[in-house]
């Protein structure tokens, strides 16, 4: 049976290379290793190999086998094992599965039964999905994310005796140059493997501390996978087989990014009123007209999308950051809120010396239109030095940009037609 399962996996991998060469190239970096069915109920990865339960693979169609192979490869290529940081383990695993599954479904791959696919999470990254996962979620990922030190002992777990063609898998380690080779086992690893009990609901693995971090060496492994991601993309791009959606994702993963707070500060400082003035000086200073550095108060309009797409905690974080910057620049902030129409409670004006606070009660929850804000500014005859709009960018935009700088601080992946865009997450 084992030989036929391995043949099935290799056939699925070959079809991936032919049909979706970008994903297929990533799958090639994961050696196929059978796992103990008592420890791994479906499939798993530690970013070093693809571990599988032979009985589970036997129950999948060839198309579904392609999906699970690609699923594990994307977890590795997107660096999910290195991006969890402070997040709770179970919620992070669920968020990563939603993100990966939608990428593959949009690529035309067929998911097996049990794959997490909430339509609300389509097009979102794992970081954007994570806050939307309930703390007491009962959802389970399709696979085992064996990225922590103890869970990596899955690679040393012996398969049941008597299985035809089943060998004891050695730990797969990253060697210089990015090659994957099996390394020898150790007594310590075997002990950890005996403690590991991969499984689904009710297994001891789920009872482990959700706050355990990743083992040392993940930074190097994440770098290696980033290099593989870029190489696979370049190869598919040269062949004309890289869809535009993948290209945007890869650019987002590879290009260096700065925190949104730093980009917000850079934007506001660029709009500052520090400039040289040639106004006539006092007669006491002489007859010469010499330039001098003159500073003025920056006038900023900040708008919060209250259609329901932005959470209260995120709004408070935005307000706190804007308040900290307001006192440094200095800046006078006119705060307003809008869904499909302006909030009747607004606007709220905060001078440079006043603390910026979001009102406790703001009317909202309707659709999303951005035009009321710009129409209101035009009626009031206001020409701010900058307008900052905190939104998910899913709404009706004005046809033409205004004559002042606009910054869209966006939660989600939606584009903006004009202005400067900063990704919130």
Cα–Cα distance, 27 to 49 (Å, whole number): 10
What is the pLDDT at residue 282?
53
- Based on the fold, state whether residues 87 and 187 are members of the same structural domain: yes
What is the tens place of the pLDDT at every residue in 190-230?
222 332 333 333 333 332 323 233 443 566 788 888 888 88
Range name among 90-99, 170-179, 344-353 with the lowest pLDDT average: 170-179
Most confident of 109-123, 329-343, 353-367: 109-123
Do 281 and 382 belong to one domain?
yes
The rounded distance, in Å, linking the Cα atoms of 345 and 343 is 5
DSSP-assigned beta bridge partners for residue 182: 172
* Chain segment 120-133, per-residue pLDDT in tens: 898 888 888 999 99
CATH of the domain at 357: 3.40.50
Alpha-carbon distance 400 to 78, whole Å? Answer: 37
In the block, residue with structure tokens 């009626």: 379
**Rounded Cα distance, 69 and 51, in Å:** 10
| H or E element in which residue 172 lies | strand 172-174
Band of pLDDT at residue 187, cut at 50, 70 and 90? very low
Q: Has residue 333 got a pLDDT over 90?
A: no
Domain boundary among 208, 233, 254: 254
User: What per-residue confidence (pLDDT) applies to 12?
Assistant: 93
> How far, in Å, are 8, 13, 286, 309 from residue 305 at the CA level?
50, 45, 53, 7
Q: Which residue has the higher pLDDT, 329 or 165?
A: 329
pLDDT at residue 276 above 70? no
Residues 139 and 196 grouped into a single domain: yes
Mean pLDDT of 250-254: 60
DSSP secondary structure string for all residues of 129-161: HGGGS-TT-----SSEE--STTGGGGGGPPPPT
What are 6-42's pLDDT values in tens digits? 899 999 999 998 888 888 899 999 999 998 888 888 9
- Which residue is it, tokens 């085992």? 144
Quick check: 97 pLDDT over 90?
yes
The verdict on 219 and 99 lying in the same domain is: yes
Is the torsion defined by CA of 338, 342, 344, 346 positive or negative?
A: positive
Domain final position from 254, 269, 302: 254
Tell me which of 55-64, 199-208, 402-411 is least confident: 199-208
Number of structural domains the chain divides into: 2
The answer to whether residues 298 and 245 belong to one domain is no
171: confidence class by pLDDT, cuts 50, 70, 90: very low
Place of tokens 């970096």: 29
Residue 273: pLDDT band (50, 70, 90) is low
Q: Which of 211, 232, 254 is the last residue of a domain?
A: 254
Q: Are residues 248 and 295 in the same domain?
A: no
Half-sphere exposure of 31 (CA within 13 A, CB side): 16
Contact of 233 with 252, CB cutoff 8 Å? no
Same structural domain, 236 and 264: no
Q: How many CA atoms lie less than 13 Å away from 213 in the CB half-sphere?
A: 9
Range among 245-254, 259-268, 331-340 with highest mean pLDDT value: 331-340
Residues 267 and 237 in one domain: no
Beta bridge partners of 336: 303
What is the C-alpha to C-alpha distance for residues 309 and 364, in angstroms, rounded to an integer? 11
Residues 204 and 346 in one domain: no
Residues 353 and 228 grouped into a single domain: no
Q: Which of 20, 130, 10 minimizes the C-alpha distance to 77?
A: 20
Which of the given ranges, 50-54, 142-146, 328-332, has the highest pLDDT on average? 50-54
Please tell me whether residues 250 and 130 are part of one structural domain. Answer: yes
Residue with tokens 């706050």: 211
Instruction: Please tell me whether residues 265 and 179 are part of one structural domain.
Output: no
Q: What was the pLDDT predicted at 152? A: 59
Whether cis (ω within 30° of 0) applies to the bond prior to 347 is: yes
What's the domain range around 411? Answer: 260-423
């Amino acid at each position: 049976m084992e030989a036929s399962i391995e043949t099935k996996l290799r056939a699925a991998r070959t079809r991936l290379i032919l049909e979706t060469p970008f994903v297929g190239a990533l799958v090639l970096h994961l050696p196929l290793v059978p796992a103990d069915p008592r420890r791994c109920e479906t499939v798993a990865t530690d970013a070093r190999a693809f571990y599988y339960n032979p009985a589970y693979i036997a129950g999948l169609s060839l198309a579904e086998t392609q999906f699970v192979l690609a699923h594990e490869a994307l977890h590795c290529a997107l660096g999910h094992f290195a991006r969890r940081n402070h997040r709770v383990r179970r919620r992070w695993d669920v968020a990563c599965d939603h993100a990966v599954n939608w990428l593959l479904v949009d690529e035309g791959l067929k998911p097996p039964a049990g794959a997490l696919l909430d339509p609300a999470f389509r097009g979102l990254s794992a970081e954007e999905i994570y806050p939307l996962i309930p703390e007491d979620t009962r959802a389970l990922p399709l696979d085992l994310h064996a990225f922590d030190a103890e869970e990596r002992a899955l690679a040393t777990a012996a398969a049941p005796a008597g299985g035809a063609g089943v060998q004891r898998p050695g730990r797969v380690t990253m060697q210089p140059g990015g090659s994957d080779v099996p390394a020898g086992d150790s007594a310590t690893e075997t002990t950890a493997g005996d403690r590991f009990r991969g499984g689904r609901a009710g297994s001891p693995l789920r009872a482990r501390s959700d706050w355990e971090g990743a083992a040392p060496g993940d930074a190097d492994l994440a770098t290696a996978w980033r290099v593989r991601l870029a190489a696979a993309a370049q190869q598919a791009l040269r062949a004309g087989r890289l869809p535009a959606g993948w290209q945007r994702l890869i650019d987002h993963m590879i290009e260096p990014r700065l925190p949104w707070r730093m980009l917000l500060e850079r934007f506001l400082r660029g709009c500052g009123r520090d400039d040289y003035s040639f106004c006539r000086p006092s007669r006491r200073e002489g007859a010469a007209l010499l330039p001098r550095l003159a500073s003025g108060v920056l006038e900023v309009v900040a708008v919060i999308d209250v259609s329901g797409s932005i959470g209260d905690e995120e709004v408070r974080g935005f307000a706190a950051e804007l308040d900290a910057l307001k006192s440094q620049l200095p800046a006078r902030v006119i705060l307003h809120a809008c869904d499909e129409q302006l909030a009747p409670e607004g606007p709220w004006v905060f001078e440079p010396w006043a603390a910026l606070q979001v009102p406790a009660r703001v009317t909202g929850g309707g659709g999303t239109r951005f035009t009321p804000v710009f129409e209101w500014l035009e009626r009031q005859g206001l020409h701010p030095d900058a307008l900052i709009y905190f939104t998910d960018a899913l709404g009706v935009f004005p046809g033409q940009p205004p004559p002042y700088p606009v910054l869209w601080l966006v939660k989600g992946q939606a584009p903006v037609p004009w202005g400067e865009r900063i990704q919130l997450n």
